[in-house]
Structure 1
């Protein structure tokens, strides 16, 4: 076996006794942890030292999503050098700050230089930086139509739709369920605007993660035997101003921000 690049390859080498002596519940979970880099083979007490030495160098650790995004940043920073900031202000709904461009993200200033370096008083995470640079490079600059559509209507690629539901919609619903004051925080901290819509909800809130990428969150509180309901909508022009993968990543970045806010208050 030349490479060990998935959990099943590791699992085949383990005793499959689920003894938990490694600190993990099952041998399969331990194998997955080894591939992620969270565990080392030597933490399994049933493997011989010579076996561990032989196999350790063959393990190919999987990159985390954050590590992958850091690699994605490299070509983006090369592309952004070609962007004429002064000619892009209107297209992006931004303003020029000397030789840099400043864009509002959730009501906060994010300043970007020609090398793709991002500066802000707000918490910055790689999930937001990648979509921000993509927006600067590729946005068509189309003004919002004020027609709201679900994420699935922005693209025919159902893979991203599944990611969006699992990594953003469901966790956001759970977060608001456990911390109802989050809605108020989104209004006051991130310049959210309550709006009236035709959708059934107790509150409908518009946020602007980027100037021409408005986001509508509709939340209905739980009632008696009915659980809460959350739906997220985008302006129909969102796909023209930001690629579908970056829209997904931008939302995950927002969720990270929201989780940090709620963790300070819960």
Structure 2
């Protein structure tokens, strides 16, 4: 059931990843009440300086720590519309493609401003931060966050621009064994690091595969999220048959950094880049922000 929930979330992520990103055409009077309908929306709102105005969040909104103390009004099954209407927010930060489309439509029909806060790529994270800053009485916080994110992203791009492509396999789940194609999130993180996805040519975003296909494609590195109950030791039986196993390159990554499209996505990128290219010196502490959280 946990894998099914994860896969449904990631599939909806992919639907949005391939669609247009919606930004506000013009900001109304500064909102006093905000609800967020995804963990990444919550994190982005806090990063843009809107944390004090959030009165409702989705389940699993756990960063920053203050988000743990805000009322839950949505989860992977849907939005508590009655509660949202009772809270009467000035702004709703949605996950187009992840939140139920009919419920978002209903909120718009009721006259609520609904803003999509899921990006199409890494660069769009800065766009979202700048957009959200226009709703804050202190827009400089969101603007500075966007500027810092862009600088960090550009530093990573420059550092690994000439790196050789390294073949990797991303293990999304073990039962069944699943991965992602080139277009699916968190693909942009690996692409930034010159990672070559051995299943990039899959016709579906999150295909179910078998071990024979992995053995045939011979990945140099195997990545997996840290909190999806994947047993990394399962790969040891393939010693002598997979370069990733022979060279001890089975890597677990922080799931929150990897799966949520927020400024912390670049911390996942730093780790991915280090693992794919251990011969390249990573960014210095001056080039990479240190307040990473968990």
TM-score, normalising length from structure 2? Answer: 0.27
**Structure exhibiting the larger radius of gyration computed from Cα positions:** 1
TM-score, normalising length from structure 1? Answer: 0.30
